[in-house]
């Protein structure tokens, strides 16, 4: 497998702010890769540098072996970028928009593929509708369609499901998964961690412009493996001293991280002995959200460069 995307020591400065602080990562061809991080972490800046829309202050980015700066046109052809913002020419229909986009890549007769994309994204009955008459969710579908007209080997989606309904999310993921099975590399940023957990085989977590984790989804989950015990005590119940130190109270709900199930019984018996009665209780498995929260509260460790 070759390298689809390579980012080496990339720094991006804006006046008074370092948005990317030495980011290095490689994404293999055919991977479904997740780029996660809180608001302002630098995800969109990294995507803009990859798409050649922003020039890094230093460092190198390549797509399928080609330098993004030196070989701008060739790398743009390899990429299909679905941006976060909805920007369209309102005067054209959906089909016209997709035909123009094909023309931009020098593709003359693309109607079969355009029809296929429209079908896959449930847009067929909107093909002749003017862009300005579409709902926000429909416009987002067109944005995805636009990014795919030239069958790019590398697809980059910057929060494609922000604020869209469940139906579109499912339609979109069905299609993107199919393209990934067919060999397209997919890079996804999302705030929906369960989405990243289900779709991505490997994940980079960014914080303040630096990578704080870069590993397979499975390893990230294993690193924070364990369960969380949450419970609510009956009114007036006070947590015994021995347990209070390791529990967090949020809106009347106590939470404790357990490293193994054998920790459960001593906790319950501690509560019984202290005369606490449990009103409600839940035991949940670690998910990506726990990993994310855990990492965002940790100091950024120095990471070795990782190879996919």
Ligand X SMILES: Nc1ncnc2c1ncn2[C@@H]1O[C@H](COP(=O)(O)OP(=O)(O)OP(=O)(O)O)[C@@H](O)[C@H]1O
Q: Which residues here bind ligand X, judged by CB under 6 A?
A: 14, 17, 19, 37, 39-45
Partners of residue 255 on adjacent β-strands: 230, 248
| Smallest distance from ligand X to CB 118, Å | 28
For 225, the token pair is 């493996």
**Cβ-Cβ contacts under 8 Å for 305 (sequence gap 6 or more):** 24, 25
Shorter beta-carbon distance to ligand X: residue 22 or 40: 40
Containing 244, the helix (H) or strand (E) segment is: helix 241-244
Shorter beta-carbon distance to ligand X: residue 44 or 197: 44
* CA atoms of 26 and 293, how far apart (whole Å): 24
Shorter beta-carbon distance to ligand X: residue 41 or 94: 41
**Cβ-Cβ contacts under 8 Å for 84 (sequence gap 6 or more):** 44, 158, 159, 162
**Cβ-Cβ contacts under 8 Å for 306 (sequence gap 6 or more):** 25, 26, 214, 215
| Smallest distance from ligand X to CB 20, Å | 8
Shorter beta-carbon distance to ligand X: residue 33 or 175: 33
| Smallest distance from ligand X to CB 209, Å | 7
| Smallest distance from ligand X to CB 56, Å | 12
| Smallest distance from ligand X to CB 119, Å | 30
260 DSSP 8-state letter: S
How many residues does this entry show for the chain? Answer: 308
Shorter beta-carbon distance to ligand X: residue 23 or 229: 23
């Amino acid at each position: 497998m070759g390298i689809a995307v390579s980012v080496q020591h990339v720094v991006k400065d804006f006046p008074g702010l370092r948005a990317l602080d030495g980011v290095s990562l490689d994404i293999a061809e055919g991977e479904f890769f997740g780029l996660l991080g809180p608001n302002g972490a630098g995800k969109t800046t990294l995507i803009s540098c990859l798409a050649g829309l922003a020039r890094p202050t230093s460092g190198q980015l390549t797509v399928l072996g080609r330098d993004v700066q030196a070989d701008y046109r060739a790398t743009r052809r390899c990429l299909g970028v679905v941006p976060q913002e909805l920007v369209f020419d309102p005067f054209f229909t959906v089909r016209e928009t997709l035909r123009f986009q094909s023309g931009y890549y020098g593709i003359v007769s693309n109607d079969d593929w355009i029809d296929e994309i429209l079908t896959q994204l449930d847009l067929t009955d909107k093909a002749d509708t003017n862009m300005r008459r579409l709902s926000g969710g429909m416009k987002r579908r067109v944005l995805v369609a636009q990014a795919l007209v030239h069958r790019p080997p590398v697809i980059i989606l910057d929060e494609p499901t922000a604020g869209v309904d469940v139906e579109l999310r499912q339609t979109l993921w069905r299609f993107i998964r199919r393209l990934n099975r067919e060999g397209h590399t997919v890079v996804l940023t999302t705030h929906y961690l369960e989405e990243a957990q289900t779709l991505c085989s490997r994940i980079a977590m960014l914080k303040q412009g630096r990578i704080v984790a870069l590993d397979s989804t499975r390893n990230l989950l294993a690193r924070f493996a364990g369960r969380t015990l949450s419970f609510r005590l009956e009114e007036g119940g006070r947590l015994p001293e021995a347990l209070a130190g390791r529990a967090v109270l949020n809106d009347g709900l106590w939470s404790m991280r357990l490293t193994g199930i054998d920790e459960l019984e001593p906790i319950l018996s501690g509560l019984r002995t202290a005369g606490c009665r449990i009103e409600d209780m839940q035991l949940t498995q670690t998910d990506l959200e726990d990993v994310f929260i855990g990492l965002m509260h940790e100091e950024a460790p120095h990471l070795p460069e990782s190879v996919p």
